Amino acid sequence: MVYHELEVVNINFNQLNVISNIIENSGRYLKKILLRPYEIVDLGFDDFNENSLNFICKVYENCPSIEHLSIVFPPLKRHFTEFEKLLKICQNLKSLLIVLSNTVDNETHENFLKNGEELLKVLISSGPINLKEIRFGNGFRFSLGNWEEFLEKWRIRRALSIFTVDRIYMREDYTKLINKYKGDGVIKSFEYLRHVDLDNYCINDLLVELADYVVDIFNKLCCKLRTIVAEYNLVILYSQFE
């Protein structure tokens, strides 16, 4: 099945390979892929590694206009390589929601820092020029040094709105650093969110767009109605003079 001119994919509780198939047959017009990463059905299963890699490939192969993307993948070298390729190709990307998840139980603080360091390297080297919002989920953590290095190198780019579910960034040393780069205009805003709020931003965006669409349709109908009424009154007035 081909989904001609599809612009938004918003799917919950599904498998990545199913979503990848939709992306592949979307007609290359997709602007938003909005997922709840923690609700991916194959998360934690053996085929997650391959399915998540395939998902990344399908995005950069079929979504040249993508602006908003939710993505989840394991912190493996080949996945980071493909993710970096995605960032280089999808230059219209404005907003990212990123979650790293591994099928292997190795969620230690040291591994989180290692994952975070690799993620920041990819973002700073290949982040699209339009990228202005990043939502950081689980599976990684930024050391104070790596965090400062990233923000310093981001100075020449657009100011970032940053969201996170990790409370470590509420510590005094992180807060001081974040406020410094807020003052310098590198960070536009920085917020700590619950997991549900990190995921639900996609729903909020859709509701806003739907409301705008309804208002636009209503205004057009009102304009059309006024035109019809004006023409009707003109006909009546013309009839009275005959």
pLDDT at 239: 60
Residues 194, 165 contacting (CB under 8 angstroms) = yes
* Total structural domains within the chain: 1
The verdict on residue 1 lying in a domain is no
The verdict on residue 2 lying in a domain is no
In terms of residue numbers, what domain contains 224? 8-241
What's 135's domain CATH number? 3.80.10.10
Spatial distance between the Cα atoms of 15 and 7, rounded to a whole number of angstroms: 20
Q: What share of the chain is helix, strand, coil (3-state, %, to 5)?
A: 55, 15, 30
The verdict on residue 44 lying in a domain is yes
How would you write the pLDDT of the chain (242 residues) with one tens digit per residue? Answer: 777 789 999 888 889 999 999 999 999 999 999 988 888 877 767 799 999 999 999 999 999 999 999 999 999 999 999 999 999 999 999 999 999 997 666 678 899 999 999 999 999 999 999 999 999 999 999 999 999 999 999 999 999 999 999 999 999 999 999 999 999 999 999 999 876 566 665 545 554 555 555 667 777 788 877 777 666 665 555 565 55
> Could you give the angle at the alpha carbon of 174 between the alpha carbons of 172 and 176, nearest 5°?
65
Q: What pTM was computed for the model?
A: 0.81
Which residue type occupies 218?
F
The verdict on residue 3 lying in a domain is no
